[in-house]
């Protein structure tokens, strides 16, 4: 079986429909927020959301995130890894382990 990457599948999906014209960074950023709202809606009245719906809404969020990354010429995995490097430094294991405190309220790990 030939495996097609998420990126290639999304590029083909949009090209077949001549939808690149609608996939501007602004429209895609709005679409991420809209689909994130739909994901949140799954939990509106109960923490016990329907798993199938959650997966579908999460897929829409991820789809628009990938489309935005493609549009700005970025690799989504690399974006996450680059940011994780920054976040690792903001939340050193020594001070952040087991607590959800915001980085600017954590004790100084170097002292
Ligand atoms: N101009 C568009 C419209 C849709 N899609 C893709 C991305 C989404 O993953 C999927 C579904 O988009 P819908 O607008 O149909 O959204 P929902 O599936 O959330 O439908 P509904 O709003 O009825 O819940 O189609 C896209 O790439 N570009």
Give 82-109 pLDDT, tens digit per residue. Answer: 999 999 999 999 999 999 999 999 999 7
Tell me if 22 CB under 6 Å of ligand 1: yes
pLDDT at 8: 96
- Could you name the CATH architecture of 6-105? Orthogonal Bundle (1.10)
Count Cβ atoms within 10 A of the Cβ of residue 35 and give its class: 0-12 exposed, 13-18 middle, 19 or more buried: buried
Residue 107 C-alpha to ligand 1 middle, in angstroms?
Answer: 44
Instruction: Give ipTM to 2 decimals.
Output: 0.96
What does the DSSP 8-state code read for residue 43? T
Tell me if 63 CB under 6 Å of ligand 1: yes
Q: 63 with 6: CB under 8 angstroms?
A: no
Q: 3 with 35: CB under 8 angstroms?
A: no
Q: For residues 7-30, give the mean pLDDT.
A: 98
Residue nearest to atom 15 of ligand 1 (CA): 60
């Amino acid at each position: 079986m030939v495996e097609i990457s998420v990126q290639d599948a999304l590029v083909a999906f949009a090209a077949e429909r001549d939808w690149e014209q609608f996939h501007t960074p602004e429209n895609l950023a709005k679409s991420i927020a809209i689909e994130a709202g739909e994901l949140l809606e799954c939990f509106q009245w109960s923490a016990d959301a329907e798993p199938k719906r959650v997966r579908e809404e999460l897929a829409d969020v991820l789809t628009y995130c990938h489309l935005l990354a493609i549009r700005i010429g970025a690799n989504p995995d690399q974006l996450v890894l680059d940011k994780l490097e920054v976040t690792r430094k903001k939340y050193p294991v020594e001070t952040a382990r087991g607590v959800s405190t915001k980085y600017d309220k954590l004790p100084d790990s170097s002292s």
